[in-house]
């Protein structure tokens, strides 16, 4: 696995599809890579048209209080990214610079900035939904960079990557239907690009001993489904996830369904870099030489 991942990464960087930064999982994107991301994204937007979602874009940082309420720290402390800044005076600045020049850990001179890096594109959405939702619920389209601290050689496991999500907030049946509908749409969209896709029951990588129970529960109740395909790892990799959150966001953000119950939510997340990597892995590193049917779907 590691050899194959190193070879794939080296090829991607060698051809300028990705730009190495010296940090595992952190890359610049070249023009050809972005052209594929953008083409796939147009297909996602088209597939979402039936939901008539409200389009919103959030920055890749979000308020700390929102992060606290999503309970992310309980489930994924190891993936967290929190922003720090310098808030001292001249004297403290001199100490910071002395530390830097001495090769010490200058970050101990920083303080929390009150913002964290978004771990999922949909998380900044929920605090603005407090209160009653209309009958039939609401659909949103959110797209942005996410951060997860999971440095890896495998280029499919990045620290900073984009998720395009279509989110439903409303009643339990609506959430379940949204999730199930998008598994089918995802299979059609991604399979239509010549990828060998399959939908499987999955679980999030919850942290620690308690996390193993949460993961088992999530699997037993089939709350998370993934569309997987070979990328570079031995097993297939998730390129899209469809999650039933139940009341996970409805409770902490006081979101109500049209009838005044705690709202349920569900989201589908397209992993834009992983889809692009899966296409490059499957059809070759030169998009100009991809099968005509794939090219005409991406660039009609």
Q: Is 157 in the site for ligand ATP (CB under 6 A)?
A: yes
Per-residue contact track with Zn ion, 63 to 102, x per CB under 5 A?
Answer: ----------------------------------------
C-alpha–C-alpha distance, residues 150 and 157, integer Å: 7
- Which residues are CB-neighbours of 7 under 8 A, at least 6 positions away? none
Beta bridge partners of 264: 170
Using the minimum distance from each CB to Zn ion, give the nearer residue, 8 or 168. 168
Q: Which of 116, 240, 255, 279 binds ligand ATP (CB under 6 A)?
A: 240
C-alpha–C-alpha distance, residues 88 and 94, integer Å: 10
Please state the closest distance from residue 155 (CB atom) to ligand ATP, in A. 9
Residues 16-55 that bind Zn ion (CB under 5 A): none
Which residue in 123, 161, 164, 156 sits closest to 145, CA to CA?
A: 161
Pairing of strands 264-271, 237-246: antiparallel
Give the Å distances, CA to CA, from 150 to 26, 77, 122, 160, 205. Answer: 10, 11, 19, 9, 11
**Spacing of C-alpha 130 from chain mean position:** 23
Q: Which stretch binds Zn ion (CB under 5 A): 112-120, 128-136, 150-158, 271-279?
A: 112-120
Q: Is 238 in the site for ligand ATP (CB under 6 A)?
A: yes
C-alpha–C-alpha distance, residues 225 and 223, integer Å: 7
Q: Which of 117, 120, 202, 238 binds Zn ion (CB under 5 A)?
A: 120
Q: Is 120 in the site for ligand ATP (CB under 6 A)?
A: yes
Using the minimum distance from each CB to ligand ATP, give the nearer residue, 11 or 24. 24
Question: Look-up: residue for tokens 């991607």?
Answer: 12
Residues 46-65 that bind ligand ATP (CB under 6 A): none
Task: Check if the beta carbon of residue 194 is closer than 8 Å to that of residue 282.
Answer: yes
Rounded to the nearest 5°, which phi and psi values hold at 46? -65, -45
Report the first-to-last Cα separation within the chain, whole angstroms. 36
Which residue in 263, 259, 261 sits closest to 248, CA to CA?
A: 263
Please state the closest distance from residue 160 (CB atom) to Zn ion, in A. 17
Q: Which stretch binds ligand ATP (CB under 6 A): 85-93, 127-135, 153-161, 188-196?
A: 153-161
Helix (H, G, I), strand (E, B) or coil at 289: helix
Per-residue contact track with ligand ATP, 249 to 278, x per CB under 6 A?
Answer: ------------------x-x-x-xx----
Residues 256-285 that bind Zn ion (CB under 5 A): 267
Q: Which stretch binds ligand ATP (CB under 6 A): 58-66, 184-192, 236-244, 286-294?
A: 236-244
Find the length of the chain: 300
Q: Which stretch binds Zn ion (CB under 5 A): 84-92, 110-118, 127-135, 164-172?
A: 164-172
Q: Which residues bind ligand ATP (CB under 6 A)?
A: 120, 122, 148, 150, 157-158, 161, 163, 165, 226, 238-241, 243, 267, 269, 271, 273-274
Q: Which residues bind Zn ion (CB under 5 A)?
A: 120, 122, 165, 267
């Amino acid at each position: 696995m590691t050899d194959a991942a190193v070879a794939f990464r080296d090829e991607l960087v060698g051809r300028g599809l990705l730009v190495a930064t010296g940090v595992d999982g952190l890359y610049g994107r070249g023009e050809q890579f972005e052209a594929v991301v953008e083409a796939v994204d147009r297909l996602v937007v088209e597939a979402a048209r039936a939901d008539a979602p409200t389009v919103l874009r959030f920055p890749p940082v979000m308020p700390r209080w929102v992060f606290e309420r999503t309970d992310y720290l309980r489930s994924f402390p190891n993936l967290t990214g929190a922003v720090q800044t310098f808030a001292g005076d001249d004297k403290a600045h001199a100490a910071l610079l002395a530390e830097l020049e001495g090769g010490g850990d200058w970050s101990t001179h920083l303080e929390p900035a009150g913002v964290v890096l978004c771990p999922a594109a949909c998380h900044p959405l929920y605090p603005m939904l407090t209160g009653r939702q209309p009958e039939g619920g609401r659909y949103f389209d959110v797209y942005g960079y996410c951060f997860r601290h999971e440095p890896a050689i495998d280029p499919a496991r990045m620290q900073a990557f984009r998720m395009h999500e279509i989110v439903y907030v409303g009643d339990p049946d609506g959430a379940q239907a949204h999730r199930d509908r998008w598994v089918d749409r995802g299979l059609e969209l991604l399979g239509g690009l010549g990828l060998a896709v399959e939908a499987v029951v999955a679980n999030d990588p919850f942290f620690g001993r308690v996390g193993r129970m949460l993961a088992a529960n999530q699997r037993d109740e089939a709350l998370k489904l993934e569309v997987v395909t070979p990328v570079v790892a031995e097993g297939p990799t998730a390129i899209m996830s469809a999650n039933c959150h139940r009341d996970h966001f409805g409770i902490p953000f006081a979101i109500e369904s049209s009838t005044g119950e705690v709202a349920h939510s569900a989201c589908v997340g397209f992993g834009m870099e992983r889809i692009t990597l899966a296409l490059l892995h499957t059809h070759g590193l030169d998009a100009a030489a991809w099968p005509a049917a794939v090219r005409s779907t991406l660039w009609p």
